[in-house]
Amino acid sequence: MQDIVSLETIYKIYQMGDVQVTALNGISMTIKKGEFVAVMGASGSGKSTLMNILGCLDRPSKGKYYLEGVDVSQFSKNELADIRNKKLGFVFQSFNLLSRTTVLENIELPLIYSKKLSRIDRDRIDQIMATLGLMEFQRHYPNQLSGGQQQRVAIARAIVSNPALLLADEPTGNLDSVTSTEVMNVLNDLNHNMGITIVLVTHESDIAKHARRVVVLKDGEVLSDTPSLSSASGSYPPSATFLHH
């Protein structure tokens, strides 16, 4: 199975006045195509820094980051922006939808930015909206949707460009427990049925158990890296019923 992510002895050191703060302390790991990995850790553990590096939003101080076999660790800002557009999808806690833009237009945005909106893309958008149960809401605006529906729109926007890696940063942080489970089932189905590689950052163990693998960070280092309980037992959270392929 192809390695989507390969981190080799990654350090991230910040200079805070006269003091050096080590946010990541020599992290090495690989993530294979089709994996669903949850990254956990207390505040200050390094999980947000790791997400920023995986998302090409920041560069490591030392070490190598290979994304689909390409070392992106020393890319320029413009090169990193290009990688983000072509290879990565992002889902955030706050949804980050454009309020005066319809559901359909929000989902189309990455393709418009990359000047790739074609007939094939429109077919893909329709398929994704149907998969995520959004077809009836495509002309709605974000403020007309529930929190769970808005996060589905954000997920649709993140995967419309067929990214190599989907990064979800506390995607259920603004949702109640029932809606959080629904969103995690959506991500689970995308992973199972579409083979999308997902890295999820969360501080909630109930959310992390939906992943197949859980990486726990402490003080910028990997404390543990194990199959999740659901994966180890051979069972998974119930799938959403609206996926059909």
Q: What is the DSSP code string of 220-238?
A: TEEEEEEE-HHHHTT--PP
Residue 104 maps to a domain? yes
Joined together, the tokens standing for residue 142 give: 């974000």
Residue 184 maps to a domain? yes
Residue 231 predicted with pLDDT over 90: no
pLDDT of residue 230: 60
Place of tokens 């893909």: 124
**C-alpha neighbours within 13 Å on the C-beta side of residue 51:** 27
Residue 176 maps to a domain? yes
Residue 30 predicted with pLDDT over 70: yes
Residue 28 predicted with pLDDT over 60: yes
pLDDT of residue 233: 42
Q: How confident is the model over 125-172, as pLDDT tens digits?
A: 999 999 999 999 999 999 999 999 999 999 999 999 889 999 999 999
Residue 226 maps to a domain? yes
Residue 234 predicted with pLDDT over 60: no
Residue 236 predicted with pLDDT over 60: no
CA distance 109 to 83: 16
Residue 239 maps to a domain? no
**Of residues 54 and 228, more confidently modeled:** 54
Lowest-confidence segment of 9-23, 24-38, 102-116 by average pLDDT: 102-116
Joined together, the tokens standing for residue 179 give: 């809606």
**Of residues 85 and 223, more confidently modeled:** 223
CATH number at residue 57: 3.40.50.300
CA dihedral for 58, 63, 65, 71, sign (positive or negative): positive
Residue 242 maps to a domain? no
Residue 54 maps to a domain? yes
Q: Beta strand pairing status for 221-227 and 213-218? A: antiparallel
Q: Residue 88 is which amino acid? A: L
Compute, in degrees rounded to 10, the torsion defined by CA atoms 207, 209, 214, 218.
Answer: 50
Q: 138: domain range? A: 3-232
Residue 237 predicted with pLDDT over 50: no
Residue 243 maps to a domain? no
Structural domains of the chain, count: 1
Lowest-confidence segment of 113-122, 163-172, 201-210, 218-227 by average pLDDT: 113-122
CA dihedral for 95, 99, 105, 109, sign (positive or negative): negative
Q: How confident is the model over 178-207, as pLDDT tens digits?
A: 999 999 999 999 999 889 999 999 988 999
Side-by-side strand order, sheet with 62-67: 19-32, 3-16, 62-67, 70-71
CA distance 213 to 36: 6
Beta partners for 8? 64
Place of tokens 């950052």: 201
Mean pLDDT in the chain?
89
Residue 235 predicted with pLDDT over 50: no
pLDDT of residue 62: 96
Band of pLDDT at residue 241, cut at 50, 70 and 90: very low
Residue 239 predicted with pLDDT over 50: no
CA distance 118 to 109: 13
